A = this chain, B = another copy of it.
Amino acid sequence: MTLQNAHTSAVPQEPSGRRTVGWHKDHVTGDRPDLRVPVRRVHLTNGQDVVLYDTSGPYTDPSIETDVRRGLAPLRENWITARGDTEEYPGRPVRPEDDGIKHTAPRGGLRNLDAVFPGRPRRPRRGRDGTAVTQLAYARRGEITTEMEFVALRENVSPETVREEIAAGRAVLPANVNHPESEPMIIGKRFLVKVNANIGNSAVTSSIEEEVEKMTWATRWGADTVMDLSTGRNIHTTREWVLRNSPVPIGTVPLYQALEKVDGKAEELTWEIYKDTVIEQAEQGVDYMTVHAGVLLRHVPLTARRKTGIVSRGGSIMAAWCLAHHRENFLYEHFEELCEILAAYDVTYSLGDGLRPGSIADANDEAQFAELRTLGELNRIAKRHHVQTMIEGPGHVPMHKIKENVDLQQETCEEAPFYTLGPLTTDIAPAYDHITSGIGAAMIAWWGTAMLCYVTPKEHLGLPDRDDVKTGVITYKIAAHAADLAKGHPGAQHWDDALSDARFEFRWEDQFNLALDPETARAFHDETLPAEPAKTAHFCSMCGPKFCSMKISQQIREEHGDGSTAVAGAYDAEALAGMRAKSEEFAAGGNRVYLPVVD
């Protein structure tokens, strides 16, 4: 069964004959018993069901007992080992400084290992003899991997379409061989628009538990990937906990950890420290990494007259390094070596836009586009090494300058997936930047962006809490879905249609269960009409029982049948005669424009 035909099928009755109204976690199965694609199956009161894409992982599956100290089951482990092109190896020893513990730490320099993930279950794995074990390499060889089959079922397209898009570099399937817990997903403009949520502690606040909780919370509301942007202590351990428990691909910015290892002194960064950090993270299972290799020495002065300079943390670190040494960015100079490392684990590049604009005034300037041209060059190099690659984008951009960003990126980077932060369409609304950026995100996704990095209400002001994460994810799911509709994605509109049908027919519980956020929709309705009968009332809480346009419309439909005859000939005499007859019927029926209120 595919997702598309699933959404119109009736749900089997329970033995008692009563149906469970609401929704449950379900799976669409493929050819192999272990190919079970998670879906959210919503049961409607009219006996139909609607099947929706689901990112929440095993946490919403009552048949699976999860335990964050044990981690999730390694769904992909057999698929990876069956390919026979990887090998286990001892791996890089974990060192205290990986977690920011300095030489002066107590107990003879050893850190307290209690915080280390108790269930780290496997030795790391990598491509045998440096083989590229990437989905891109397989796709180019014409191989359809199980991961590709999985996303084909998930996106309701053919496996061959998935393979083609990956092979062409127009899509990525981030799937580090050391993160077998992840459920495969695909990022590319031919597929559903995806949403990333950022989590991460900082020197100022937050804890490991909070970050794991934010990850499961974000995916519950629909985040397709999560980036762990931790910058303070316990970076390594936080990431281990997040990875072992994450059903979605995890991204990072290795530069943040590398900088911690040199006590925050950018000029002391070296390629060796950076490379060691990338290997450390690749062995843990990070699926994609933001790499700021496009910030070149000659680009830095282009930012000096900007209103807001360099606002990317990674970008500013590399700029400072370039200036301190008056040398070219070491990430640019060692890019081929970096490609070889990433190819051996199937880590996907997210080529960072370190010079993205941080204000409306700086949008689409020479600094930004000079870096984009460099990212185009790096994209070609990465592809030579079979490394999957996506390109990061802005930032702050007014609406009329958004399309140029996508068009230029697609041209410069040979249609590699674009992964944008918003963009924010105005600077004037701190505390509402999920909205200033949700506007830009919907537009840029319509025009071709494949994944949107969310922005929360706390952007520019503080670290997001649980509520902010939810608000950010839901805002971005709206933007992504609005773009899916505008792009005409064949699997998109059935969701809107199902909800609008429920609305027109006053099936309130169905409206709530189909909503992106059922809890809040139900709570808002309760505020105005708390009584249970109102959930089945044939009027809306906005207008009250006497004044409901939906009811009048239903009356019109009843009087006109399905309207087919009248619509076809709306302007000719015969139809008008038919309408006259209908009008007489309507009068004979007592001119009732309002149905009696239920209860």
* Cα distance, A306 to B500, chains bound together (Å): 11
User: Among residues 476 to 500 in chain A, which have CB atoms less than 8 Å away from a CB atom of chain B?
Assistant: 477-479, 481-483, 485-488, 493, 495-497, 499-500
Shortest Cβ distance from residue A47 to the other chain B in the assembled complex, whole angstroms: 19
List of B residues within 8 angstroms of A297 by Cβ: 579
3 tightest CB-CB pairs across the interface, nearest first? A304-B563, A309-B553, A462-B528
CB contact under 8 A between A525 and B462, given known A231-B543, A556-B300: yes
CB atoms of A400 and B544 under 8 A apart: no
Cross-chain contact A425 with B485 (CB below 8 angstroms): yes
Q: Cα distance A398–B317 when bound, in Å? A: 41
A475 contacts the other chain (CB 8 A): yes
By secondary structure, the A interface counts as helix
B361 near A556: Cβ-Cβ < 8 Å = no
Cβ of A168 under 8 Å from chain B: no
Given contacts A457-B524, A493-B360, A504-B309, contact A202 B544 (CB under 8 A): yes
**By the criterion of a CB under 8 Å from any partner CB, how many residues of chain A are at the interface?**
145
State whether B204 touches A528 (Cβ < 8 A).
yes
The contact of A313 among B324, B359, B543, by CB within 8 Å, is B543
Is A169 in the interface zone, CB < 8 Å from B?
no
A432 within 8 A of B: yes
A67-75, A209-217, A586-594 - the one binding chain B: A586-594
Closest-by-CB residue of B relative to A559 is B323
Q: Is A238 an interface residue (CB 8 A)?
A: no
| Residues 546-581 (chain A) with a chain B CB within 8 angstroms | 546-550, 552-557, 559-564, 566-567, 570-571, 575-576, 579-580
Query: What are 20 residue pairs bridging A and B, where the CB atoms are less than 8 Å apart in the complex?
Result: A256-B547, A304-B563, A307-B501, A310-B552, A310-B553, A323-B582, A324-B583, A359-B496, A360-B497, A399-B446, A400-B485, A425-B442, A427-B495, A427-B496, A427-B503, A429-B474, A429-B477, A430-B524, A434-B435, A435-B435
Could you give, for residues 499-524 of chain A, a 1 whenever the CB lies within 8 Å of some chain B CB and a 0 otherwise? 11101100000011011110011011
Which A residues between 439 and 463 are near B, CB-CB below 8 angstroms? 439, 442-443, 446, 457-463
Residues of chain A from 233 to 283 with CB closer than 8 A to chain B in the complex: 256, 259, 264-267
CB of A384 closer than 8 Å to a CB of B: no
Query: Do B426 and A461 touch across chains, with their CB atoms under 8 A apart?
Result: no
A576 touching B429 by the CB < 8 A rule? no
B326 touches A579 (CB 8 A): yes
A546: chain B residues at CB < 8 Å are 203, 231, 264
A232-B544, A265-B593, A400-B446 known; 7 new pairs, CB 8 Å cut-off, are A302-B566, A313-B549, A319-B556, A320-B552, A323-B556, A323-B583, A431-B515
Which residues of chain B are near A10, meaning CB under 8 Å? none
A542 adjacent to B312 (CB under 8 Å): no
